[in-house]
Amino acid sequence: MPSAINHPASAAAPEPAHSAPLPSPTNRMAPVRCEARAAVEVDGVEVDAAEDRSVDGVATGTCIAGIAEAPGATRRGTSDVRDTRAGAGGRPEFGPGRIDESAQLAPGRVVLHVDIDAFFAAIEQQRDPRLRGKPVIVGAGVIASCSYEARTFGLRAGMRLTEAKRLCPHAVIIEGHAQIYRCFAEEIFARCRAIAPAVETYLDEAYCDLTGTGRLHGDLVATAAALKHDIHAATGLTVTCGIGPNRMLAKLVGKTVKPDGLARIDAADADAFLRDRPLEQLAGIGHAHAKTLRSMNFATIGDLRALPPHVLEALFGANGRLLYERCRGNDTAPVTEREIPLSISRETSFHQDTADRAEIEGMLEYLVGRACRAARELAIRPRTVAVHVRYSDGEGDEQARSLHQASDTDPVVLELALELLRRLFTRRVALHAVGVKFSNFAAAGGEQGSLFDEREAGRRAALFRAFDRVRGAYGHGALVSGRALRLKHKLQEDRHGFVLRTPSLTK
Partner 1 sequence: MRQEAIDEAVGVRADFKGGVVTPLAFRRGARQHRVVRVNARWTDRAGKHPSFYFSVTADSGDVYQLRLQSADLVWWLDSVTMEG
Point out the residues that are catalytic: 205
Cβ proximity to partner 1, 130 vs 287, nearer residue: 130
Which DSSP category does 142 fall into? Answer: B
Q: How far is the CB of 127 from partner 1 (least distance, A)?
A: 4
Q: How far is the CB of 385 from partner 1 (least distance, A)?
A: 25
Cβ proximity to partner 1, 88 vs 233, nearer residue: 233
CA 439, 443, 449, 454 torsion-angle sign: positive
Q: How far is the CB of 489 from partner 1 (least distance, A)?
A: 14
**For residue 145, what are the CA distances in angstroms to 16, 123, 160?**
40, 10, 12
Cβ proximity to partner 1, 14 vs 475, nearer residue: 475
Where would I find the H helices in 73-129?
101-105, 119-127
Long-range contact set of residues 89-95: C-beta below 8 Å, sequence gap at least 24? 94/67, 94/221
Whether 436 and 417 have beta carbons less than 8 Å apart is answered as yes
Which DSSP category does 118 fall into? Answer: T
- Of 30, 100, 93, residue with least CA distance to 58: 30
Q: How far is the CB of 236 from partner 1 (least distance, A)?
A: 6
Q: How far is the CB of 123 from partner 1 (least distance, A)?
A: 7
Site residues for partner 1 per CB under 8 A = 123, 126-131, 172, 174, 179-180, 183-184, 186-187, 235-236, 472-475, 492, 495-496
- Of 84, 116, 150, residue with least CA distance to 258: 116
How many residues does this entry show for the chain? 507
Q: How many whole angstroms separate alpha carbon 314 and alpha carbon 300?
A: 20
CA–CA–CA angle 120, 123, 127 (5° rounding): 140
Q: How many whole angstroms separate alpha carbon 244 and alpha carbon 230?
A: 21
Strand partners, 439: 343, 384
Q: How far is the CB of 115 from partner 1 (least distance, A)?
A: 19
Cβ proximity to partner 1, 26 vs 492, nearer residue: 492
